[in-house]
Amino acid sequence: MSVTLVDDAAITKSATRNIRKTVLSNGLLVLTESMPHVRSVSMGAWVGSGSRDETKEVNGISHFVEHMVFKGTTSRSAQQIAREVDTIGGNLDAFTGKETVCFNIKVLDENVAPALDVLSDLVLHPTFAPEDVEREKGVILEEIKMDEDNPDYLVHEVWTQNFWKGDALGRPILGTAKTVSGFDQQTLLNFYAGQFAPRNMVFSAAGNLEHDAFVAQVEREFGSLAASGAGVPEKVAAPRATPHITLKRKKSLEQVQLCLGMPAPPVNDSRRYVVYLMNTMLGGGMSSRLFQTIREDRGLAYSIYSEMNPFRDTGSLCVYAGTSVDKTQEVLRLTLQELRRLKEETVSEVELKRAKDQLKSNMVIGMESSGSRMANLARQQMYFGRFSGVDEIMHEIEAVSTADVQELAQELFKPETMALTLLGNLGTMKIEREDLAC
C-alpha cells in the first residue's frame, strides 16, 4: 500500500515541538512528535467516536469492545498478549470516553517494532469469542455495581444523566445492566466494523522516533485496514441542557454529595482559556476561592472543587463537594456566593496572574512525558485540526483579561440554567429554584 504525504510541510516545527503527519492511502492519519531527549516511545490508536455516538440500545458497547480486544486475537491469546508486553517492559492500556476510544502502549525506543505488532493485532484482529463475551459481561456488570457504590462517581453520573436528559451524552460510558447483558458476538462485530474504519481513526506517537521510519512500520501493520467509511458516526446537533434539581436519597451514606453545574463552552471555543482560568480561580486548587472559603475558613467539607467538562459541541462547568447533611445548604449558599462574586466583582490582577501561572505550569508539566504528548497530538487533531505550541498557548493564556473573566461569569452563572444533584441521607431537605439565585 502506498503512502500519501499530506500537509506535512505545514506542520509547526519549533524549538519545542517537531510534529509531522502522514495520511496512508486507506485514509488512516499518522501523527508523530519527535522527542530525541527521551528513551521512550508512546503510541496510540484513537477511534474518533465514543459513548455519545452509540444508540440507546447498545449503550456501553464502545467500552465493552475496549475490554474485549484484550481477550484474544486471531493469532494471540490474552495470556500471550500479557506475556509479550511484559517481556518488553511495556505499559499497555486503553480507555473509553464520551467521544473517543484509545488503545495505547509505552515502551523503550528499542522495542517499538514488537510493541506496534501487539498493539495493531489488538486493534485489527480481535475475535470476540462468544465464551469471552459472556465472561466479560460479568466483569463489566461488577464494574457498574462498583461505580454505583462510589458516591463521588454516582452523584456526577446522576447529574450528567439528568443534565443531558434524553441525549446520548448523558448516558453512562459503561452502559447499563440491561444493555450490557444483551451484547453478543455478532453485535460486537457489527459495531466494530462500523467504528474501526481508517477515516474514523488517528494513530499518534511521541518519543525518540523518526517519522518516516515509523510511518513505514505503521503502514505494514495498518495498511490492510479497509478504506471503508461506512458506519463512521454522523455527528449530531449539540444537545440541549436541562436545568434540574435532583435530590436522590440514599440512607446508607454518611455524607451528602453535592454537584452543581451549568452549560459551558465546547472544547474548541475561542474563550476556552478564559473559562479554564475562571475554573482555576473558582475551585481548581488549594488557593481557589471555594477551597479557601468552604474548607479552610469554615471547615465545612474535606473535598471541594470545580471542573470543566468540554466536548466537541458543548460543555459543562461543575462544582463538587462532600459534606454532612446539616452543612449542605450552607455549602450550597457559599458556593453560589462565590459565583455571584465572580459576576459582580472584577477579579484582581494578582489573583488572575496566580491562576495564569498555575494553568501554564500544569500545561507545561503535563506535556513532559511521551505519553502526554501522544495524547495531546491526537486530541488537537480531532478537535482543532492543527497543533498549538507551548509558546502559542502561553500567549493565549496571558491575553486573558480580568474583564474577560467577569463577562464570561455573567454569561454562564444564571440560576435558570443551573442543575443541582444532591445524593445522601437527605431526610426532609427541599431545594427550590429560587435557592440557586446568584
Count the Cβ atoms, other than its own, within 10 Å of residue 10.
8
Distance of CA 172 to the CA centre of its chain: 13
Name the grid cell of 44: 496510540
- Beta-bridge partner residues of 47: 101, 201
Task: Identify the CA nearest to 265 among candidates 222, 316, 200, 217.
Answer: 316
CA distances from 227 to 27, 120, 196, 221 (A): 6, 16, 10, 14
CA-to-CA distance for 434 and 438, rounded, in angstroms?
9
As annotated, the active-site residues are 66
Please list, in sequence order, all residues whose beta carbon lies within 8 angstroms of the beta carbon of residue 178, skipping any fewer than 6 positions away: none
Name the grid cell of 158: 446522576
CA-to-CA distance for 5 and 16, rounded, in angstroms?
23
CA-to-CA distance for 414 and 241, rounded, in angstroms?
13
CA-to-CA distance for 260 and 275, rounded, in angstroms?
16
8 A C-beta contact, residue 111 and residue 89: yes
Task: Identify the CA nearest to 233 among candidates 96, 64, 52, 58.
Answer: 52
